[in-house]
Amino acid sequence: MSTLTNRQILLASRPAGEPTVDNFKLVETPVPELQDGQVLVRHHYLSLDPYMRGRMNEGKSYAQPQPLGEVMIGGTVGEVVQSRNPNFQVGDKVVGMGGWQEYAVVDAHQRGVLQKVDTTHIPLSAYLGAVGMPGVTAWYGLVKIIEPKAGETVVVSAASGAVGGVVGQLAKVRGCRAVGIAGGPDKCRYVVEELGFDACIDYKQHRDVRSLASALKEACPQGIDGYFENVGGMMLDAVLLRMNAFARIALCGMISGYNGEPIPLQNPQLLLVNRVKLQGFIVSEHMDVWPEALKELGTLVATGKLKYRESIAQGIERAPEAFIGLLKGRNFGKQLVKLI
């Protein structure tokens, strides 16, 4: 075992504003011998997600900050290459939170730290996207907070991303009109032609709230009943101008403010006037619904009814650059790092 080397990315310093590659450090460490109950996982893919930006800060949040000098947090899928645990065999495909590294030694007696997955009909990488945390995030926000009814209109920001793309497709399954907001003609074309949304607005064509609200009026002639928010800022302001009475907002992310910028709300009184329900949520606090969500998501992916797209960076050393690109919207679909 001592001949195996693990390459890891550590958080070297906390970013002031936008993260840079200098905030990260690549190190090599030997893979330790396994103890009883442990398994060694060789990671195939690492998931990069916007929530990681918040963890890099020291400030109070819904989760503990990422410690300095330790492996960056992150979801992983891979294969068991050595096992001293009766529940896991060499060759098992698994999903976990292995972090930004090529190997992970996991104490597999702890419940839930490692889940076996079936790759017969679902690609391994999908367990980090449509059939993983992003998919369940989409499912929870739509099904449990927006609670869409057939015929209603659901708007989704960051609609071409790993979460947003699933929201719109699940809304269509439930008989809704799905309208996306995305950046650039290619992403908007993909959202409509590949994912099956009814319309998609290119926010880059709109310089102010009034212009974006006008585009929303055209795309949502019956107003907006549900809004899945990933971005905040101008998007939320524009959507609020088009909301129907008793509309629901699932507040998933505010990526427009992840580097510390203030995100003012222009017309908060519209929440009251339209009796809007706005609820923020963290999907890891709702583990009770994961089996139900994953059953629907897995079935839809396995039968080809739920489409998704992946941006893949090659090699652990590319993770910081790919992560910075994700925060700037350079990715197209789910951002992964291929480690093998």
Q: Following DSSP, what letter does each residue of 248-281 receive, concatenated?
A: EEEE---GGGTTS-----S-THHHHHTT-EEEE-
How does pLDDT run across 119-146, given as a tens digit for each residue? 999 999 999 999 999 999 999 999 999 9
Find, among 34, 12, 32, the residue nearest to 23 by Cα: 12
Contact between 72 and 9 (Cβ < 8 Å) = yes
Calculate ∠ Cα 74-75-81, nearest 5°.
115
Beta strand pairing call for 177-182 and 153-157? parallel
Average pLDDT for runs of 10 along the chain of length 340: 87 95 97 96 97 89 88 97 96 97 93 91 97 97 98 97 97 98 97 98 97 98 98 96 98 87 94 98 94 97 97 98 94 96
pLDDT at residue number 324? 97
How does pLDDT run across 223-279, given as a tens digit for each residue? 999 999 999 999 999 999 999 999 999 999 998 888 778 899 999 999 999 999 999
The reported pTM is 0.93
Please measure the distance between the N-terminal and C-terminal CA atoms of the chain and give it in whole angstroms.
Answer: 18
CB burial string 248-261: b at 16+ within 10 A, e below: bbbbbbbbbebeee
Calculate ∠ Cα 335-338-339, nearest 5°.
140
pLDDT at residue number 104? 97
